[in-house]
Amino acid sequence: MNYMETLGSRAKAASHAAGAAGTAQKNAALAAVAQALRDNTAQIIEANGRDMDNAVQNGMSKAMQDRLRLDASRIEAIANAVGKVIALDDPVGEEVRGWLRPNGLRIRQVRVPMGVIGIIFESRPNVTVDAAVLCLKAGNAVILRGGKEAIHSNTCLVNVMRGALGSAGLPADLVQLVEKTDRETAADMMRLNGYLDVLIPRGGAGLIQAVVRQATVPVIETGAGNCHVYVDATADVDMAVSIADNAKTQRPSVCNAIETLLVHKDIAPVFLPAVRKAFDAHEVVIHGCAVTQEILGGSVIPVTEEDYAREYGDYEIAVRVVDSVEEACRHILTYSTHHSESIVTRDMANAEYFLNHLDSAAVYVNASTRFTDGEEFGFGAEIGISTQKLHARGPMGLLALTTTQYRITGTGQIR
Amino acid sequence: MNYMETLGSRAKAASHAAGAAGTAQKNAALAAVAQALRDNTAQIIEANGRDMDNAVQNGMSKAMQDRLRLDASRIEAIANAVGKVIALDDPVGEEVRGWLRPNGLRIRQVRVPMGVIGIIFESRPNVTVDAAVLCLKAGNAVILRGGKEAIHSNTCLVNVMRGALGSAGLPADLVQLVEKTDRETAADMMRLNGYLDVLIPRGGAGLIQAVVRQATVPVIETGAGNCHVYVDATADVDMAVSIADNAKTQRPSVCNAIETLLVHKDIAPVFLPAVRKAFDAHEVVIHGCAVTQEILGGSVIPVTEEDYAREYGDYEIAVRVVDSVEEACRHILTYSTHHSESIVTRDMANAEYFLNHLDSAAVYVNASTRFTDGEEFGFGAEIGISTQKLHARGPMGLLALTTTQYRITGTGQIR
C-alpha cells in the first residue's frame, strides 16, 4: 500500500462511521471544529507565519501573499463560516422518490453521503476548512491536497479539525491532509480508484485540466467561464448597460464575469456608446467587430477569432454585433465554456429561444451573470461551480456532495 | 481534426437541434425508426449474415454466435422495444426545483438533454438500437462504438436509423457509428473532451476497466456485481431459501446475481441444509467457511479470501457464517462492488441497520437482488446499471441520460 492508498483506506473506514451519523452528531462535531479554530488561533497564526516567511523568501507576489495570510479576524471569519454550514439543512436521508411496484416491492430512492471526497486546491488556506466542513456536513470523509506554499497552515488547520472531530466522537480520519505535496503523490491521488468516490479540483485552468487529463477516478470539472451577455433589439438600454457593466467590471477576475458582449444590430448605435461610457470608468479595453469599430471609432481594437474564445479575467472585453438572437446563440454555442449566459430583452419569444437553445449551466433573462454562485443561489455555501454535465451543474452546494441509494423492501419477492 | 473529432463535431451540431425538439417530434422520429427497422428486415438480416459468416470462419463460440444473430423475429422484437421507449414519459423540460430569491430573481432548475453520449459496447447488435433510441428520446446525440464482430450489422442498423431520422426532420447525425473498430480510434473516443459529455461502457469487466483507466471524458462505470444475501437470525427459513436460491441460480451470469451468502450462526444449522437442497438442483458448488463445512460436511470446498472478492458468474457460491448483522455489514463493506445486497429478516432494527450501514447502489429487505434492473424498477428501459456514485446509481433509465440547467429570470438585477 502506497502513501495515498493508506490515506484512502483510512478515509473509507472513517466514511462508514460518518455515513451512519445523525445530523445532531455531525452538527456537534462542526461546532467543535469552529470552537477549536477559535481556541487555537495563536497556533494557526504561528504556522501560517512560517508559510508567509517562505513566501517572502521565494518572492511570492503581494496579491498571492495576501491570499495566503491568516490573521485573527480571518480565522474568526472561517469559524463563522462553519457556523453557517451547521445551520444548513442536512441533505442526507431525504427520500428523493418512492413508489410501489405491482409485485408489492416498495422502492425508495434515498439521499446518502458520497463517501470519500478528494479536493485538490491551490494556496488559499481558508479552502481547507470550508471544503472539509461541507464534506463533513454531508456525511463524507475528505482528503485535502493543498499547495505546498500553505503546507504549514494546512497541517495546523487539519490537526485542529481532527482533534475536534475526535472530541465529538467521530473518527479523526474523516479529515486528512496529503502532507506530501510532490507531483507524484498528486498523480497517485488522481488514480485512487476504489477509495475516492469523486475528486474536485479547485483552482486555475491549469490545475483543472491536469486533473481532467490524468485522473482515473470520477472528477467534477469546475471553473472555466467564458460567459456572454446578449443585448437584444428590444432591450431596455439603461438595464442593458447596467447588466453588461456589472457582469464585466464588478469583479472581472471571477469565472461568472463576462468576456464577450453580443449586441443586436438595431440597438447597437444607441447601446454601444452608452456601455462604452460605463466601461470607460474602469478603462475597459474593447476588442470589437467591424460594426463595433464603426460605431465606437478609433479606440476599439479589431477583434480576432481567438478573442472570442479567450477568458480575459480582466478589464478587457470582446464585442460583436449580430443580426438576431439565433446568431447570438450560434456564437455562444461555438465559443462558450457552458458556464453562464444572459439575454437582455423585452421580447418574450426571444427570451424563450435563448433559454431553450443554449446548453450552459446557467442561463439568464434580464440579470447579471455574476449571480452564478452558491451564496447568491441561496445554497448557503459552495464547493465550486461545475461546468460539466455529469452529476452536478452550476453552483454546487451540499446536494452535490451526496449520492442516492435505492432501498427496496419486500415480503419474499423473487424473479 | 481526426476521425473521432469529426464525428464529435457532427454529433455536437446535431445535438443542438435535438435539444430544442419537442416530445412529439422525437416520438415521431422514433416511430419512423421502428418502421424503418421493419421495412428493412431483409437488408438487416443480409448484413448480419456477413457477420455470422465471419464469426463461423473465426471460430466464434456457439453462445457468442447466438448473441450476434439477427432474424426476423429478433428484428421485430427490437422494433417493438422502440415502441416501448416512445411510450415513456419525456424527462426533458421537467422543472426539478424552482424558487424565488429575496432580490426578486426567479431560479428554476430544468431538466435538459445531456448533449452527446458515447456508448462503447461488445458484440450484441440489439444494443445498437436500444441504446440509440434511449439517447434520442432524452434529446441527445449518440456515438456508438460496437465490436468489430458486428460491424456489418451495426453499419446497416445505424444507416436505417439515420434514414428514418432524416425523414422525420431531425439530423441524421444524431446517430453515428464509429466504423473504425481499431483500438487507437477507441482510445481517441475515450479522450474526446469538448465533444462527448459522457461515455458509457457496456460489456465485460475488461472493457469497463479499460475505459475507466484510459478515458479523460466523464464516464459512468457500469456492471461489476459482487452481490450478497445475508440471512439474519430471525429470518423465515423458507423465504430465505427461496431468495438465496433465486438470487444465485435464476440467472447466475448476470451482475445482480449473488456471489456470497452470509448466514447468522443461530439460523445456520437449519438454513444451510435447506438451502443446499435447493442449490443441489443446479449443482451449485459451495465454498464454505469452517462452520459451513462443519454443518454441510464433505462436499463443501474451503473458502478463501479471494473467493469472497470473486464474481463467479456461475453456479458457484461462497458461504460464510457470521455472528451478527454488524459482522455481515463489515464483510459486505470489505468485499462488495457496491451493486446489490439483501437481508432476510423479521427484525426491524436489523433491517434498518443493514439499510443504513451499506453504501451499495441497491439494498434490499426480504427480496431477491435480481430486481436491480431498469424494467423491474419500472423505468421501462435501461441503458445500464451504474456502480459508481457520481451522477447515476443503480439501474439507469432516461433520467440518467439528462442533466439540468439553471434558468434565472430577473428584472435588471445586478450585484
CA–CA gap between residue A35 and residue A374 (Å, rounded): 25
| Chain B environment of A370 (Cβ under 8 Å) | 414-415
Q: Are residues A233 and A96 in the same domain?
A: no
Average pLDDT over residues B314-333: 97
Residue whose C-alpha is closest to residue A146's, from A132, A117, A115, A125 = A125
Question: For residue A238, is it within any domain?
Answer: yes
Closest approach of chain A CAs to the CA of B224, in angstroms? Answer: 13
**Mutation to test the B interface, candidates A238, A248, A337, A407, most B Cβ within 10 Å:** A407
Residue-wise pLDDT for A308-336, tens only, equals 999 999 999 999 999 999 999 999 999 99
DSSP A388: S
DSSP state string for A190-227: HT-TTT-SEEEEES-HHHHHHHHHH--S-B--B----E
Name the residue of chain B whose CA is nearest to A357's CA: B20
Residue-wise pLDDT for A362-406, tens only, equals 999 999 999 999 999 999 888 999 988 999 999 999 999 999 999
CA–CA gap between residue A114 and residue A111 (Å, rounded): 9
pLDDT band at A61 (very low <50, low <70, confident <90, very high): very high
Look at A359 and B242 and tell me if their CB atoms are within 8 Å.
no
Q: Decide if pLDDT at B223 tops 80.
A: no
Q: Are residues B187 and B44 in the same domain?
A: yes
Helix (H) or strand (E) holding B239: helix B237-249
| Chain B environment of A246 (Cβ under 8 Å) | 414-415
Look at A408 and B361 and tell me if their CB atoms are within 8 Å.
no
CA–CA gap between residue B400 and residue B412 (Å, rounded): 35
Name the residue of chain A whose CA is nearest to B213's CA: A216
Look at A371 and B407 and tell me if their CB atoms are within 8 Å.
no
| Chain A environment of B107 (Cβ under 8 Å) | 377-378
Helix (H) or strand (E) holding A111: strand A106-113
Residue whose C-alpha is closest to residue B278's, from B254, B244, B255 = B244
Q: Are residues A291 and A232 in the same domain?
A: yes
Question: For residue A305, is it within any domain?
Answer: yes
Q: Decide if pLDDT at B123 tops 80.
A: no
Residue whose C-alpha is closest to residue A411's, from B232, B349, B367, B241 = B367
Contact B201, B207 (CB under 8 A): yes
Closest approach of chain A CAs to the CA of B258, in angstroms? Answer: 13
Question: What angle in degrees, to the nearest 10, is found between the helix axes of A183-190 and A205-214?
Answer: 60
**Mutation to test the B interface, candidates A385, A407, A408, A411, most B Cβ within 10 Å:** A408
Question: For residue A387, is it within any domain?
Answer: no
Q: Are residues A99 and A14 in the same domain?
A: yes
Q: Are residues A99 and A232 in the same domain?
A: no
| pLDDT value of residue A17 | 84
Write down the residue that cell numbers 425538439 correspond to.
B21
Look at B105 and A363 and tell me if their CB atoms are within 8 Å.
no
CA–CA gap between residue B390 and residue A394 (Å, rounded): 15
In the predicted model, what is the mean pLDDT of chain B?
A: 95
Kindly tell me the burial class for residue B390, based on how many C-beta atoms sit within 10 Å of its own C-beta (0-12, 13-18, 19 or more): buried
Nearest to B394 among A216, A388, A406 (CB): A406
CA–CA gap between residue B107 and residue B104 (Å, rounded): 9
CA–CA gap between residue A369 and residue B129 (Å, rounded): 40
Q: Decide if pLDDT at B43 tops 80.
A: yes
DSSP A393: -
CA–CA gap between residue A240 and residue A286 (Å, rounded): 17
Nearest to B368 among A333, A409, A413 (CB): A413
Q: Counting one residue from A and one from B, how many pairs have CB atoms under 8 Å apart?
A: 208
What's the gap between Cα B412 and its chain centre? 46
Question: For residue A274, is it within any domain?
Answer: yes
CA–CA gap between residue B86 and residue A288 (Å, rounded): 48
Q: Residue A176: helix, strand or coil by DSSP?
A: strand
In total, how many domains does chain B have?
A: 2
Question: For residue B51, is it within any domain?
Answer: yes
Nearest to A362 among B20, B403, B406 (CB): B406
Average pLDDT over residues B182-188: 95
Q: Decide if pLDDT at B110 tops 90.
A: yes
| CATH number, domain with residue A153 | 3.40.605.10
Question: For residue A289, is it within any domain?
Answer: yes
Q: Are residues B216 and B236 in the same domain?
A: no
Write down the residue that cell numbers 440471512 correspond to.
B231
Task: Give A24's Cβ-side CA count (13 Å radius).
Answer: 0
Average pLDDT over residues B123-139: 93
Output the nine-digit C-alpha cell for A19.
Answer: 455515513
CA–CA gap between residue A236 and residue A87 (Å, rounded): 40
Give the strand order in the sheet containing A198-202. A175-177, A141-145, A116-121, A198-202
Contact A389, B114 (CB under 8 A): yes
SS (H, E, C) B57-99: HCCCCHHHHHHHCCCHHHHHHHHHHHHHHHHCCCCCCCEEEEE
Name the residue of chain B whose CA is nearest to A337's CA: B194
pLDDT band at B119 (very low <50, low <70, confident <90, very high): very high
| Chain A environment of B218 (Cβ under 8 Å) | 218-219, 221, 388-390
Residue-wise pLDDT for A19-50, tens only, equals 888 999 999 999 999 999 999 999 999 999 99
Q: Decide if pLDDT at A345 tops 90.
A: yes
Output the nine-digit C-alpha cell for B300.
Answer: 463443501
Write down the residue that cell numbers 472478492 correspond to.
B309
| pLDDT value of residue B17 | 84
**Mutation to test the A interface, candidates B390, B398, B411, most A Cβ within 10 Å:** B390
| Chain B environment of A415 (Cβ under 8 Å) | 246, 250, 368, 370-371, 376
| Cβ contacts of A87 within 8 Å, gap of 6 or more | A380
| CATH number, domain with residue B314 | 3.40.309.10
pLDDT band at B33 (very low <50, low <70, confident <90, very high): very high
| Chain A environment of B141 (Cβ under 8 Å) | none
DSSP B415: -
| pLDDT value of residue A128 | 94
Contact B257, B225 (CB under 8 A): yes
Residue whose C-alpha is closest to residue B224's, from B84, B381, B95, B337 = B337
pLDDT band at A298 (very low <50, low <70, confident <90, very high): confident
Contact A227, A343 (CB under 8 A): no
Question: For residue B385, is it within any domain?
Answer: no
Look at A414 and B242 and tell me if their CB atoms are within 8 Å.
yes
pLDDT band at B18 (very low <50, low <70, confident <90, very high): confident
Output the nine-digit C-alpha cell for A60.
Answer: 511570492
Amino acid at A79: A
Name the residue of chain A whose CA is nearest to B212's CA: A216
Look at B365 and A409 and tell me if their CB atoms are within 8 Å.
yes
Residue whose C-alpha is closest to residue B135's, from B7, B4, B30 = B30
Q: Give the CA radius of gyration of chain A.
A: 24
Closest approach of chain A CAs to the CA of B73, in angstroms? Answer: 25
Closest approach of chain B CAs to the CA of A342, in angstroms? Answer: 9
**Mutation to test the A interface, candidates B353, B389, B401, most A Cβ within 10 Å:** B389
Write down the residue that cell numbers 464547493 correspond to.
A383
- Percent residues over pLDDT 70 in chain A: 100
In the predicted model, what is the mean pLDDT of chain A?
A: 95
DSSP B369: G
Look at A359 and B246 and tell me if their CB atoms are within 8 Å.
no
Residue-wise pLDDT for B47-100, tens only, equals 999 999 999 999 999 988 999 999 999 999 999 999 999 999 999 999 999 999
Per-residue exposure over B346-367, b if at least 16 CB sit within 10 Å of its own CB, e if not? eeeebbebbbbbbbbbbbbbbb
Look at A388 and B356 and tell me if their CB atoms are within 8 Å.
no
Which CA distances in Å does A309 have to A41, A227, A304, B94? 44, 10, 9, 32
Residue whose C-alpha is closest to residue B43's, from B155, B146, B119 = B155
Residue-wise pLDDT for A174-185, tens only, equals 999 999 999 999
| Chain A environment of B99 (Cβ under 8 Å) | 378
CA–CA gap between residue A396 and residue A392 (Å, rounded): 7
Contact A121, A145 (CB under 8 A): yes
Average pLDDT over residues A262-278: 98
Residue whose C-alpha is closest to residue B205's, from B332, B311, B61, B124 = B311
Closest approach of chain A CAs to the CA of B322, in angstroms? Answer: 20
CA–CA gap between residue A403 and residue A240 (Å, rounded): 40
Q: Are residues A45 and A165 in the same domain?
A: yes
CA–CA gap between residue A111 and residue B389 (Å, rounded): 11
| Chain A environment of B371 (Cβ under 8 Å) | 105, 408, 413, 415
Look at B415 and A219 and tell me if their CB atoms are within 8 Å.
no
| pLDDT value of residue A224 | 80
CA–CA gap between residue A231 and residue A25 (Å, rounded): 51
Strand ranges (E), B3-161: 95-100, 106-113, 116-121, 141-145
| pLDDT value of residue A222 | 85
| Chain B environment of A363 (Cβ under 8 Å) | 405-408
pLDDT band at B224 (very low <50, low <70, confident <90, very high): confident
Q: Are residues B214 and B232 in the same domain?
A: no
DSSP state string for A242-286: HHHHHHHHSSTTSTTSEEEEEEETTTHHHHHHHHHHHHHTTT-EE
Give the total residue count for chain A.
415
Residue-wise pLDDT for B281-313, tens only, equals 999 999 999 999 999 997 899 999 999 999 999
DSSP A300: P
B41's torsion region: left (phi>0), alpha (psi -120 to 50) or beta?
A: alpha
Strand ranges (E), A240-399: 258-264, 285-288, 301-302, 316-322, 340-344, 362-367, 384-386, 394-396
Alpha carbon dihedral A286, A290, A292, A298, in 10-degree steps, equals 60
What's the gap between Cα B228 and its chain centre? 18
Name the residue of chain A whose CA is nearest to B358's CA: A16
Question: For residue A386, is it within any domain?
Answer: no
Closest approach of chain B CAs to the CA of A156, in angstroms? Answer: 31
> Taking CA A88 as the corner, what is the angle to CA A86 and CA A92, rounded to the nearest 5 degrees?
100
Q: Are residues A191 and A321 in the same domain?
A: no
Average pLDDT over residues A166-172: 95
Residue whose C-alpha is closest to residue B406's, from A326, A329, A313, A374 = A374
CA–CA gap between residue B62 and residue B50 (Å, rounded): 16
Q: Residue B25 CB: number of other CB atoms within 10 A?
A: 15
Domain enclosing residue A267, as ranges: 227-375
Q: Is the dihedral of CA B335, B336, B337, B338 positive or negative?
A: negative
Q: Are residues B162 and B257 in the same domain?
A: no
Residue whose C-alpha is closest to residue A118's, from A236, A19, A203, A197 = A197
Q: Are residues B217 and B234 in the same domain?
A: no
Name the residue of chain A whose CA is nearest to B378's CA: A101
Q: Are residues B296 and B324 in the same domain?
A: yes
DSSP B189: H
